[in-house]
Amino acid sequence: MQNKQNFCQYYNNEDECPYKKDYKGRIWTAEKLASERANANAYEFLSFVAAHISKWDPYGFAPNIAHYIAEFRFCSFEQKMKLAQAYGLNEELLFEKPKGRTVFEYIDEGGFPCHTRGYLLYFDGRIYSVYEDCPEHIRMYILEGTHKPLLNKVKALIHDNWENIQKLPKETTFGECDDGSYQHYKFLSKQCHGYMMELTEDGKEVLYFAKKIDYIFHYHHVPINVLEPNDFVECWDNFIDLIITDKVKIHSFLDSRSFPEDCEVLGFNMDCFESFNKKYGNDFFNKYGDEKLERVFSLIDDYQILGNAIYSQWRYYNHWAYDPIAEFDANWFKAAFKRLKELWEKQE
């Protein structure tokens, strides 16, 4: 018999809900009830949570159920589709690319072990976030809403810069990455595909226009990034486990373009431990050298600064370490990721 708590994404056997946001708080409650009452299989658990969501929001439940079904990792493609159809999610959750012409597309094929993510903006103002389930590589499209003012600003930006956008390299690979990651951008009919790097002239030009569009999304407070800190921790903590069993994989971790990109998306800064040392002191880890790492990290109480430190530690091994294989401390990252997740949940 399966442990139903293994299916939970937000409920972790707490007595009180740790989330302030409506969506996560209600999902926490639904998962708690499902853990107590649902049958011990994944599909019944997912169905129970979906039913609970529809009860507390009978008129606006579709987007929330769509997100939960898309993120739920324990059911097959057929089961997810069956439940989506049962709730009439005809537009809110699709398993193939939505029909219609797009103004802008961004897809980040994260490579192993990350999720694919991205978003699509259509000529009628629809915005879909893109999510791919790692175990079965099921690509799902979640309707985030319709936003005409945002659409008009993006169209104006592309129109005003069309001459330069047309000159961008089409279907060109800008480099190679060991983890298989690459990006796809589409500005109206202009497509750019490859491993984008600001260090290369071609990649820098593409990212220049893409970031201008990102800014428009952020200005209108439209969520375009499906990466959450918990996803980040789960993804890279699992990869550190692989490193513990096979040190050769350290190179894949340090050469990965996805890790620094994820850090940037979450707002972490690679500041060479400047912010960390300013608050906790240069000798913080040496001072508690005899303590267990988890105990040491429990003394860190700033989510942003810890994120900066994780990014800086990766960069040290990536760029400055004389012998990364010999120096690499997987347990440091394990303890850091665990504490980062705790701090994120506290501030939620």
Closest CA to 333 of 293, 304, 298, 288: 293
Q: How far apart are CA 72 and CA 59, in angstroms?
A: 22
204 and 255 together in one domain: no
**What is the CATH number for 124?**
3.30.1560.10
What is Dmax (Cα atoms) for the chain? 62
163 and 195 together in one domain: yes
How confident is the model at residue 134, as a pLDDT? 53
129 and 36 together in one domain: no
- The structure tokens 């019944």 sit at 44
Closest CA to 334 of 246, 239, 231: 239
42 and 68 together in one domain: yes
211 and 271 together in one domain: no
**In which domain, by residue range, is 318 found?**
229-347
Domain stop point among 26, 57, 88: 88
203 and 110 together in one domain: yes
What is the reported pTM? 0.60
176 and 206 together in one domain: yes
How confident is the model at residue 209, as a pLDDT? 85
Exposed, middle or buried by CB within 10 Å (0-12, 13-18, 19+), for 38? Answer: buried
- Tens of pLDDT along the chain (348 residues) come to 456 677 888 888 888 887 766 677 888 889 999 988 877 788 999 999 999 888 877 777 788 888 888 888 888 888 888 898 898 887 888 888 999 999 999 988 765 445 677 889 999 999 998 887 655 567 889 888 888 988 999 999 999 999 999 988 876 554 454 455 678 899 999 988 876 665 566 677 888 888 788 778 766 656 555 456 777 887 788 888 888 888 888 887 887 767 887 787 787 889 999 999 999 999 898 887 667 888 999 999 999 999 999 999 999 998 889 898 899 999 999 999 999 999 988 875
Q: What is the DSSP string of 64-93?
A: HHHHHHHH--SS-HHHHHHHHHHTT-TTTE
83 token code pair: 């439940």
Q: What's the domain count of the chain?
A: 3
Domain stop point among 60, 88, 116: 88
How confident is the model at residue 329, as a pLDDT? 94
**Angle formed at CA 146 by CA 141 and CA 151, multiple of 5 degrees:** 105
222 token code pair: 């439209």
218 and 290 together in one domain: no
176 and 84 together in one domain: no
How confident is the model at residue 105, as a pLDDT? 94
How confident is the model at residue 332, as a pLDDT? 95
Q: How far apart are CA 108 and CA 346, in angstroms?
A: 29
238 and 218 together in one domain: no
Domain stop point among 226, 244, 260: 226
45 and 114 together in one domain: no
108 and 216 together in one domain: yes
